C-alpha cells in the first residue's frame, strides 16, 4: 500500500532477445500489459517513461518476476517455432473503446498462419467501412506479437503498414508460414 492506504499497481519489465530483435515485455498483476519492438536502450527508456505516465507507477526491471515468467517462456517458444498460440493473462488497460474491441477480436479470431484484411476486421466488430480506424487500432496495439497485428493486411494483397517496421512484419508472417522465408 502507498502512504494514502491505496494499493499501488506493480509494473515489472524485462527485455527478451528474439529473431526480430529485442522485445520489451511489461506486466502488471493483471497480466501482460505491453510489448515493445526494437527495445534498444533509448527505445526502452522512452517506452518505460510512457508506461509510468499511463499507469501511474514506475516500472521495475524484474526479469525473474513470476509476473513475466510465463510470457517469457511462451515468447521464446513462439520464436523457436514450438508455439502457435499465446495463453497469457492480458492487461487491456492501455487500450479502450473501438481499439480494444478490434484488438480483442484480432487476438481471438485470427489464428496463427492466417491473415485478415483491415476492412474484414472492421466488419467482424460490426463497423463495416471502418478499415482506416482498424489501421489506427493496429498502430496503437500495446501488445504486438501477442495480439497479432502483423496478421492484418490490405485487401488487395499488400502487406500494409506496421509499427515494428515492414521487415519485422515480413519476418513474423514468414515464421507463421504466410510468406516465404527471406532469402537473405
Longest distance between any two alpha carbons in the chain, whole Å? 58
Host H or E run for residue 42: helix 41-55
Active site includes 149? yes
The set of cell numbers assigned to 49 is 517513461
Please, are residues 99 and 41 in contact by the beta-carbon 8 Å criterion? Answer: no
- CA 91 – CA 73 distance, rounded (Å): 18
- CA 139 – CA 133 distance, rounded (Å): 10
- The residue annotated as part of the active site, out of 32, 71, 149, 153, is 149
β-strands 116-117, 152-153: how paired?
A: parallel
Grid cell 479470431 — which residue?
109
Sheet holding 23-27, edge to edge: 32-36, 23-27, 12-16, 60-61
Catalytic residues: 149
Amino acid at each position: 500500500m502507498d502512504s494514502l492506504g491505496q494499493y499501488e499497481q506493480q509494473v515489472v519489465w524485462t527485455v527478451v532477445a528474439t529473431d526480430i530483435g529485442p522485445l520489451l515485455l511489461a506486466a502488471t498483476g493483471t497480466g501482460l500489459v505491453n510489448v515493445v519492438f526494437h527495445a534498444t536502450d533509448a527505445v526502452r527508456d522512452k517506452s518505460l517513461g510512457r508506461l509510468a505516465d499511463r499507469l501511474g507507477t514506475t516500472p521495475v526491471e524484474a526479469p525473474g518476476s513470476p509476473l513475466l515468467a510465463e510470457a517469457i517462456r511462451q515468447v521464446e517458444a513462439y520464436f523457436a517455432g514450438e508455439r502457435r498460440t499465446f495463453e497469457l493473462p492480458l492487461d487491456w488497460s492501455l487500450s479502450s473503446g473501438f481499439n480494444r474491441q478490434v484488438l480483442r477480436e484480432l487476438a481471438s479470431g485470427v489464428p496463427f498462419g492466417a491473415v485478415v484484411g483491415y476492412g474484414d476486421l472492421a466488419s467482424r466488430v460490426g463497423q463495416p467501412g471502418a478499415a482506416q480506424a482498424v489501421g489506427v487500432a493496429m498502430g496503437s496495439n500495446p501488445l504486438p506479437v501477442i495480439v497479432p497485428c502483423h496478421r492484418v493486411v490490405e485487401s488487395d494483397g499488400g502487406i500494409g503498414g506496421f509499427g515494428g517496421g515492414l521487415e519485422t512484419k515480413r519476418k513474423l508472417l514468414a515464421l507463421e508460414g504466410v510468406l516465404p522465408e527471406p532469402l537473405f
